[in-house]
């Protein structure tokens, strides 16, 4: 009796969950604009890097001065592939950086106003303990696909990673990027002085970029593990995303 009274309610709840989009239109649109601008940033960033694959600490650094470390890449400064100040590399980098910043602001402000971050990304206190985290890590290591029910919400590791990417890595990336711009630092010199100089900003910028590329590789691997087709469909159309692939 208790069951029959309870089940219809459950059915309504479940159909509500299934009928509402897995990701809001704004999250989906900003996610894909962001992905495109990030690819453009990486490609143009590699181009810029090849002009001088050396890193320094402090205010200055150049060929002939001691470096912090050198990447095992050729200098392409003097060849026809030179990616100089007026080249496509820098233009594409700045264009995609501003798209990334404006799109990121739209995502962050709307996520705060709609409480998306609090409801969908902030982990519950109970999940921030060793046992749920170790269970998720062990499932990932055993390549165990999440169940359909688990796929309906982000797990604690995803939440922590996404929050870290959105509120730490991207803002730091933008800050260190702005700290390399003489026109910006002439107005706000503190942006670069607290980092120890322009070359320090460049070195930190490189490490953050590498961390974001690593995130992207793991992110795509996790989407594949969870069910590429369903999760991509949900991130494109807003519908779907269960543990099992539907053909």
Rounded to 5 degrees, φ, ψ at 54 are -130, 145
CB contact set of 74 (below 8 Å; sequence gap of 6+): 50, 53
**Closer by beta carbon to ligand HEM, 90 or else 219:** 219
| Structure tokens that stand for 32 in this block | 């894909």
31 lines the binding site for ligand HEM (CB under 6 A) = yes
* Count of residues interacting with ligand HEM (CB under 6 A): 20
Dist. CA 125–CA 140, nearest whole Å: 22
User: How far is 169 from 74, CA to CA, in rounded Å?
Assistant: 28
For ligand HEM, the closer of residues 201 and 235 by Cβ is 235
Binding-site string for ligand HEM from residue 217 to residue 236, where x marks contact by CB under 6 A and - marks none: --xx--x--x----xx-xx-
Q: How far apart are CA 46 and CA 42, in angstroms?
A: 6
Q: Based on CB atoms, which residue is closest to ligand HEM, 119 or 135? A: 119
Which residue in the set 35, 79, 138, 237 belongs to the binding site for ligand HEM (CB under 6 A)? 35
Q: List contacts with ligand HEM (CB under 6 A).
A: 23, 27, 31, 34-35, 38, 120, 162, 165-166, 216, 219-220, 223, 226, 231-232, 234-235, 241
């Amino acid at each position: 009796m208790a069951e029959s009274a309870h089940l219809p309610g459950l059915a309504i709840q479940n159909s509500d969950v299934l009928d509402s989009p897995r990701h809001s239109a704004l999250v989906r649109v900003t996610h894909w604009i962001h992905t495109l601008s990030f690819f453009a940033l990486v490609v143009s960033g590699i181009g810029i890097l090849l002009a001088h694959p050396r890193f320094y600490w402090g205010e200055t650094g150049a060929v002939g001065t001691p470096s912090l470390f050198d990447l095992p890449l050729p200098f392409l400064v003097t060849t026809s592939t030179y990616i100089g100040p007026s080249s496509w590399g820098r233009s594409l980098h700045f264009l995609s950086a501003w798209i990334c910043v404006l799109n990121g602001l739209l995502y962050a402000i709307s996520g705060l106003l709609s409480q998306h971050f609090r409801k969908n990304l902030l982990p519950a206190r109970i999940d921030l303990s060793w046992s749920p985290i170790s269970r998720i890590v062990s499932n990932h290591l055993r390549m165990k696909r999440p169940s359909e029910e688990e796929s309906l919400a982000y797990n604690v590791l995803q939440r922590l990673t996404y929050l870290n990417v959105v509120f730490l890595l991207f803002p730091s990336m933008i800050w260190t990027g702005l700290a390399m711009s003489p026109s910006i630092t002439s107005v706000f010199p503190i942006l670069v002085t607290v980092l120890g100089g322009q070359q320090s900003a460049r070195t930190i910028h490189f490490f953050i970029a590498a961390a974001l590329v690593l995130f992207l590789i793991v992110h795509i691997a996790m989407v594949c593990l969870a069910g590429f087709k369903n999760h991509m469909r949900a991130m494109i159309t807003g519908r779907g995303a269960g543990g099992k692939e539907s053909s």
